[in-house]
Amino acid sequence: MSTPLLHKVYDSSIFKEEGDHLINLLSDYLSKTVSMESEKVINWSEPDEEYLFWKNFKQKGYTTSQLFQTVIERSIHTHHPHYIGHQVAPSVPLSALATLLSAQLNNGMAVYEMGAASTALERVVIEFFTQALGFKNGDGFLTSGGTLANLTALLAARSIKASSDVWNEGATHKLAILVSEEAHYCVDRSARIMGLGSGGIIKIPSDKNFKMRTDLLETYYAQAINNGFEIIAVVGSAPSTSTGVYDDLEAISAFAKAKNIWFHIDAAHGGAAIFSSKYKQLLNGANQADSIIIDGHKMMGISAITTAVLFKKSTSSYAAFEQKAQYLWEKNDDPDWFNLAKRTFECTKSMMSLRFYVLINAYGSQFFEDFLTTLYDTAINFGAFIKEQKDFELALDPVSNIVCFRHIGKGGNLDDINLNIRRSLLEDGIFYIVSTRLRGDFFLRMTVMNPFTNMTHLAALLENIRKIVNNK
The tens digit of pLDDT for each residue in 409-430 reads 877 899 999 999 999 999 999 9
Are 185 and 326 contained in the same domain?
yes
Assess if residue 95 is contained within a domain.
no
Asked if 68 and 22 touch (Cβ cutoff 8 Å), the reply is yes
pLDDT for the residue 167: 83
Asked if 310 and 126 touch (Cβ cutoff 8 Å), the reply is yes
Give the pLDDT band (50/70/90) at residue 335.
low
Distance of CA 57 to the CA centre of its chain: 32
Contact partners, residue 438, CB within 8 Å, separation at least 6: 210, 242, 243, 395, 404
Are 116 and 35 contained in the same domain?
no
Number of domains in the chain: 3
Of 362, 394, 429, the one marking the end of a domain is 362
- φ, ψ dihedrals at 49, nearest 5°: -65, -45
From start to end of 302-427, where are the E strands? 307-311, 392-394, 402-407
**Mean pLDDT within 118-128:** 95
Strand 262-266 relative to strand 230-237: parallel, antiparallel, unpaired? Answer: parallel
Q: Is the pLDDT of residue 48 over 90?
A: yes
Q: Is the pLDDT of residue 385 over 80?
A: yes
Strand 402-407 relative to strand 434-438: parallel, antiparallel, unpaired? Answer: unpaired
- pTM above threshold 0.85: yes
Residue 311 CA to residue 140 CA, distance in Å, equals 6
Are 306 and 443 contained in the same domain?
no
Asked if 39 and 9 touch (Cβ cutoff 8 Å), the reply is no
Higher pLDDT, 325 or 71: 71
Domain containing 447: what range? 366-470
Three-state secondary-structure class, residue 263? strand
Q: Is the pLDDT of residue 326 over 60?
A: no
Q: Considering the chain, what percentage of its residues have pLDDT values greater than 70?
A: 97
pLDDT for the residue 472: 66
Residue 298 CA to residue 94 CA, distance in Å, equals 16
Three-state secondary-structure class, residue 465? helix
Helices 116-133, 353-363: axis angle to 10 degrees equals 60
At position 386, the amino acid (one-letter code) is: I
Assess if residue 433 is contained within a domain.
yes
Asked if 153 and 265 touch (Cβ cutoff 8 Å), the reply is no
Contact partners, residue 112, CB within 8 Å, separation at least 6: 119, 336, 338, 339
Are 357 and 269 contained in the same domain?
yes
From start to end of 95-162, where are the E strands? 139-143
pLDDT for the residue 330: 47
Assess if residue 90 is contained within a domain.
no
Are 108 and 216 contained in the same domain?
yes
Are 235 and 340 contained in the same domain?
yes
Of 303, 328, 362, the one marking the end of a domain is 362
Assess if residue 222 is contained within a domain.
yes
Are 221 and 293 contained in the same domain?
yes
Residue 68 CA to residue 85 CA, distance in Å, equals 24
Assess if residue 158 is contained within a domain.
yes
Are 171 and 25 contained in the same domain?
no
- CA-wise closest residue to 458 among 431, 428, 438, 434: 431
Kindly report, residue by residue over 336-364, the tens digit of the pLDDT.
777 777 788 887 888 999 999 999 999 99
Give the pLDDT band (50/70/90) at residue 332.
very low
Residue 357 CA to residue 128 CA, distance in Å, equals 10
Contact partners, residue 323, CB within 8 Å, separation at least 6: none
Residue 159 CA to residue 31 CA, distance in Å, equals 49
Are 109 and 243 contained in the same domain?
yes
pLDDT for the residue 317: 87
Residue 201 bridge partners (DSSP)? 177
Distance of CA 37 to the CA centre of its chain: 29
- CA-wise closest residue to 29 among 63, 68, 64: 68
> In CATH, what number is assigned to the domain containing residue 247?
3.40.640.10
Asked if 426 and 432 touch (Cβ cutoff 8 Å), the reply is yes
Residue 432 bridge partners (DSSP)? 83
Assess if residue 445 is contained within a domain.
yes
Of 327, 343, 362, the one marking the end of a domain is 362
Give the pLDDT band (50/70/90) at residue 322.
low
Kindly report, residue by residue over 12-32, the tens digit of the pLDDT.
999 999 999 999 999 999 999
- CA-wise closest residue to 77 among 307, 86, 52, 144: 86
Are 351 and 379 contained in the same domain?
no
Kindly report, residue by residue over 232-251, the tens digit of the pLDDT.
999 999 999 999 999 999 99
pLDDT for the residue 321: 80
Assess if residue 143 is contained within a domain.
yes
Helices 414-428, 455-470: axis angle to 10 degrees equals 110
> In CATH, what number is assigned to the domain containing residue 452?
3.90.1150.10
Bond before 451 cis per omega within 30 degrees:
no
Are 323 and 342 contained in the same domain?
yes
Are 264 and 339 contained in the same domain?
yes
Three-state secondary-structure class, residue 203? strand
Assess if residue 307 is contained within a domain.
yes
From start to end of 341-433, where are the E strands? 392-394, 402-407
